[in-house]
Amino acid sequence: MKIAVLDWYTVSVNGDVPISKLEELGEVKVIPLTKPGETAANIGDADIVLCNKVLITKEVMDACPNIKYIGLFATGYNNVDTAYAAEKGIPVCNAGQYSTNAVAQQTFAYILDRFSRIRDYDSAVRNGEWERSPAFSYFPIPTAELAGKTLSIVGFGSIGRRVAEIGSAFGMNIVVSTRTKPEDCPYEVTDLYTAAGKADVLTFHCPLTDKTAGMVNSELLSRMKPTAMLINTSRGGVVNEADLAEALSSGKIAAAYLDVLVNEPMSPDTPLKGVRNCFITPHTAWAALETRQRLADIVCDNIRAWQKGSPRNKVN
């Protein structure tokens, strides 16, 4: 079978994830990145299409009648017209739960950065401030313990649960807001606004849907403590960026740590660029080496399952 990989650079840039496992499954054509308008040509007569963010539309599927399977190097699948794929009998299979540990880890990297102020104190030392200190310990920048602080988690899938476990280990009070009340949940479960109001840390681990789009808006932000921090490692569209920029600039909340934006790569005119106490990483939470290796393994396993007649992780 012919396999077209449309954006391999979103999985591996320097060869740290080998393509050899895919080559065991068919004749592989690797395209580092596919520009808009090139999708159909890059797919050609491939039977299997693999991608991360490339749009696979009705028009693309009609232009490439040989497509039999679409696999995603991602959990999200809003870049594929899954309904039309189903009409054409094309299974669409995603890769779930590959990044749980990595995203939870980065969530706490943000939290610890805020509460322990490692970067700020490193800068102070590099600037010679400790050398000029009259006392052995130099601590003009306030730090705080996580124990006893409230961690409010929006979304309680595998990542949200892992974040809750880690927060609990730090002695944090865990509050959960999710669409449906989870079974056997040992934590307080409440509505979004109540969770936001209680939070010292409000972190989002939910999918982007019609209901979650723009849920971080002026109304929600007005319910938060002025000392609270907000984290988004889910999808950029969950946040109304103009409203968040205003809240940070006016001191309505203390800080925001974001790994995702509405437009990616980051647009030069994003409302959050250069905003006070807004810290942005370039969609890296999921990208640990072990995570990307696991992702490639899941994608390969999905293909094998489909070839045997029992598709796994099918979303349509």
Residues assigned a catalytic role: 235, 264, 283
* CA proximity to 201, closest of 259, 270, 151: 151
Distances, alpha carbon 281 to alpha carbons 96, 119, 133, 220, 268, in Å: 22, 15, 33, 23, 15
What tokens does 15 get? Answer: 């060869």
Q: How far apart are CA 163 and CA 291, in angstroms?
A: 17
End-to-end C-alpha distance for the chain, whole angstroms: 22
* CA proximity to 279, closest of 112, 127, 164: 112
Q: Which helix (H) or strand (E) holds 61?
A: helix 58-63
Match 């205003």 to its residue by tokens. Answer: 246
Q: How far apart are CA 155 and CA 152, in angstroms?
A: 10
What tokens does 49 get? Answer: 């299409």
